[in-house]
Amino acid sequence: MHILFVVPGWPKGSFWDVLFFKFPPLAMATLAGLTPDEHTISYVDESIAPLDESITPDLVVISAMTPLAPRGYEIAAIFRARGIQVIMGGIHASNMPDEAARHVDSVVIGEADEIWGNILEDAENNRLKPTYRQDEYTRMEIIPTANRTIYPKKKYFFENMIQTTRGCPYKCEFCTVTSFFGGTYRPRPVARVIDEVRSLSRQAGYIFFVDDNLVAHKAHTNALLDELKNYRLRWVCQAPITIAKNADMLRKMMEAGCHGIFIGFESLNSKNIEVMGKKQNTVSFYEEAIRRIHDMGIGVYGSFVFGYDHDSPAVFDQYLEFANRTGIDGAFLPVLTPFPGTRIHKRLAEEGRILSHDWRLYDMATVVYQPKGMSVRELQEGFWQVNKGFYSLSSSLRRLFRPSSLKRRSNIIFMPMNFGHVPAIRKAHKRFKQLSAKLPCGPL
């Protein structure tokens, strides 16, 4: 059977389409690793290559985030019109299975590692069920080494993505991880992780450990770090701000090759932190935490969400001043987006504050709800102000070329990322203004 894996693309000129740094979806390579050898696999990610709509696979497998779901439905229609079976899974289909079922032959809800073989057998015999759902969460010991041979060569910024755990012990209001993994946190056997590290074709290159929280299970993390330091690796990961309180683990991360940590700071306002349910964050500790991590030569990539209930128009200048003062190395600066399946979507819907259910607008760059502390227009303009301000040439030079910053080994990744974002974000803003007449904020 010929199986075509498809990742729908972002609209041309959109915020994410113009960014040079593309990341592959690990889920597709994991499913490819679970696929028996007798099947033929093809792979298309529309963010890096166009889809040839004339090809004739036996089965099309689509995985899409919420803003890409409408394009996923379009792709499904193209192939179903020719009698080709289509399956859809991922975050959006799992949270909106009834919607997805109107567009595809079968919807996979949640994880599929342990039932993937059964799904393929049903597809091969033309007996796909309308929905599939595992009885239990995936046993981490059965997750295979991802089949990265499906990725086009030299098209992604990071190809070496590895998962050592699934889920997150925290339950932040805006996060889709909890809805997908049910609040579980499951470590993968360290030996299986190291086997995957050894399998990488470019061991000297960077590894991105994509866990939503690499350090929640201390014994597992320590065992993993003890193994990783036996290899000459350079890697980045995600961890909560509390990692800065554990000097021993932070040092072990540095010794094992950690170059950068993605941290969800989310807000400079403690009232927002309380509403989010992000109890592990203490705003007064932010600057000290960044300093401690920097002292280890590790870069900090921070996430800050704009538009929560206690934000006012002043938040954008406040953030830029904070970023320049602390020398934070990189940042993800989205507008609050109430994705379906999250508690924030339920709350805003109950309050009558959702302005659009056009999923294409749920791109973390477009305001789709009514904020409390500012107008829709103020939040939308502030989003572009803070992104263009942070990823400006002057800001990048100020943050990355101070004497203390130049000593950090993490510059090998953060300098290209910052300077690559400078023209990309300006290009995306120009495109956004051209299309803004049809958006909730109106013309910009």
Cβ within 8 Å of residue 65, ≥6 positions away: 90, 91, 92
Residue 188 gets which letter from DSSP?
Answer: P
Number of domains in the chain: 2
For residues 172 and 181, give the distance between their C-alpha atoms in angstroms, rounded to a whole number: 13
Mean pLDDT value of segment 44-73 = 95
- pLDDT of 290 reads 97
**Are residues 305 and 199 part of one domain?**
yes
For residues 389 and 152, give the distance between their C-alpha atoms in angstroms, rounded to a whole number: 34
Q: Which residues, in sequence order, are bridge partners of residue 236?
A: 208, 260
Grade residue 438 by pLDDT with cuts at 50, 70 and 90.
confident
- pLDDT of 443 reads 77
Given a cut of 80, whether residue 296 has pLDDT beyond it is: yes
- pLDDT of 279 reads 85
Which residue is it, tokens 């599929």? 112
Mean pLDDT value of segment 191-219 = 87
Given a cut of 80, whether residue 383 has pLDDT beyond it is: yes
- pLDDT of 358 reads 94
Cβ within 8 Å of residue 171, ≥6 positions away: 178, 183, 277
Nearest residue to 81 via CA among 109, 56, 52: 56
Any domain includes 56: yes
Grade residue 67 by pLDDT with cuts at 50, 70 and 90.
very high
Any domain includes 271: yes
Identify whether the C-beta of residue 237 lies closer than 8 Å to the C-beta of residue 204. no
For residues 153 and 147, give the distance between their C-alpha atoms in angstroms, rounded to a whole number: 13
In the numeric block, which tokens belong to residue 302? 């921070």
**Are residues 129 and 164 part of one domain?**
no
Any domain includes 208: yes
**Are residues 95 and 10 part of one domain?**
yes
Any domain includes 147: no
In the numeric block, which tokens belong to residue 38? 């007798």
CATH code of the domain covering residue 165? 3.20.20.70
Any domain includes 42: yes
**Are residues 105 and 69 part of one domain?**
yes
Any domain includes 151: no
Residue 366 gets which letter from DSSP?
Answer: S
**Are residues 54 and 173 part of one domain?**
no
Identify whether the C-beta of residue 99 lies closer than 8 Å to the C-beta of residue 359. no
Average pLDDT of the chain, as a whole number: 92
- pLDDT of 258 reads 96
pLDDT digits (tens, 9 = 90+) for 154-185: 778 778 999 999 988 777 777 777 666 666 78
- pLDDT of 406 reads 78
Report the 10 Å Cβ neighbour count for 141.
11
Given a cut of 60, whether residue 88 has pLDDT beyond it is: yes
Question: Which domain does 33 fall in, by range?
Answer: 2-133
Grade residue 16 by pLDDT with cuts at 50, 70 and 90.
confident
pLDDT digits (tens, 9 = 90+) for 101-139: 999 999 999 999 999 999 999 999 999 999 999 999 999
Grade residue 20 by pLDDT with cuts at 50, 70 and 90.
low
**Are residues 184 and 36 part of one domain?**
no
**Are residues 286 and 168 part of one domain?**
yes
Mean pLDDT value of segment 385-398 = 96
CATH code of the domain covering residue 96? 3.40.50.280
**Are residues 207 and 283 part of one domain?**
yes
**Are residues 172 and 71 part of one domain?**
no
Mean pLDDT value of segment 184-206 = 85
- pLDDT of 13 reads 66
Given a cut of 70, whether residue 205 has pLDDT beyond it is: no
Q: Which of 133, 152, 184 is the last residue of a domain?
A: 133
**Are residues 249 and 102 part of one domain?**
no
Any domain includes 141: no
What is the dihedral angle through the alpha carbons of 328, 329, 330, 336, rounded to the nearest 10 degrees? -10
Mean pLDDT value of segment 275-280 = 88
